[in-house]
Amino acid sequence: MCDALRSQQGRTGGSPCDSGYRWAYRASSPEASIPGRPAGDGGRSDATTPEVTLRWTKMALVLPLFAWACQNAAPPEESADAGPPVDSVALAAAAIGAGMFDSISWADDNAAIERGALVWSISCAKCHGTDGAGGGEFAKTAQWTMPSLLEGDWPLAQDPAGLRKAIYTGTQNGMPHWGLHGLKPRDVDAVAIYIELMLRG
């Protein structure tokens, strides 16, 4: 085939079959970008081309710089304001303020009970149970022992202000700090009335 190409061009050299042309073609082909790939001309490797050699030389110079930068990078600075975890119970207790619940009024007890029943079913029953005895499904799954709000000696039975404060502030033992996360003072008052008049009534 090479002889035929030479005959068409009227010469014996310079055809694509000559080594110079073969090397130029191979160097410009996609295969030339693969370092170390065996070439078809006498096993010559494309890794020996000047372009490839320059590329690997640059990488050899740059990689040690990256390694040095990673080893000598300064540790992240700690915030000067960083401190111990905030006591959410104390935060909530401080937010109550004097007379927060004194200004809340209802058209009648039924209005407060209706609102309180909704709050209880959404926010409280999952732990305290629908009846307040402490058998909520979430508490059972978490294996928490919940106090019954129905016992005669329940500490908040005769303490309306203390009950509202307990709901608002929560505890460090898992009860949410409802005053900070989720319930407005009116909802706290409503659910307290529901406990007093319906669950314990």
What does the alpha-carbon distance between residue 196 and residue 201 come to, in Å, rounded to a whole number? 6
Fold assignment, 88-199:
Cytochrome Bc1 Complex; Chain D, domain 2 (1.10.760)
Per-residue model confidence (pLDDT) at position 177: 86
Number of other residues whose CB lies within 10 A of the CB of residue 116: 26
Below-50 pLDDT ranges, the chain = 1-2, 4-47, 73-85
Q: Which regions of the chain carry the CATH code 1.10.760.10?
A: 88-199
Per-residue model confidence (pLDDT) at position 67: 59
Tokens of 121: 């079913």
Phi, psi of 38, rounded to the nearest 5 degrees: -60, 130
Contact 69/63 with Cβ under 8 angstroms? no
| 16-35 pLDDT, tens digit each | 444 443 433 344 444 444 44
Per-residue model confidence (pLDDT) at position 98: 73
CB under 8 A, 24+ apart: contacts of 96-102: 96/165, 96/168, 96/169, 96/179, 100/185, 101/161, 101/164, 101/185, 101/188, 101/189
Tokens of 118: 């909704």
Per-residue model confidence (pLDDT) at position 154: 93
Per-residue model confidence (pLDDT) at position 91: 83
Contact 9/15 with Cβ under 8 angstroms? yes
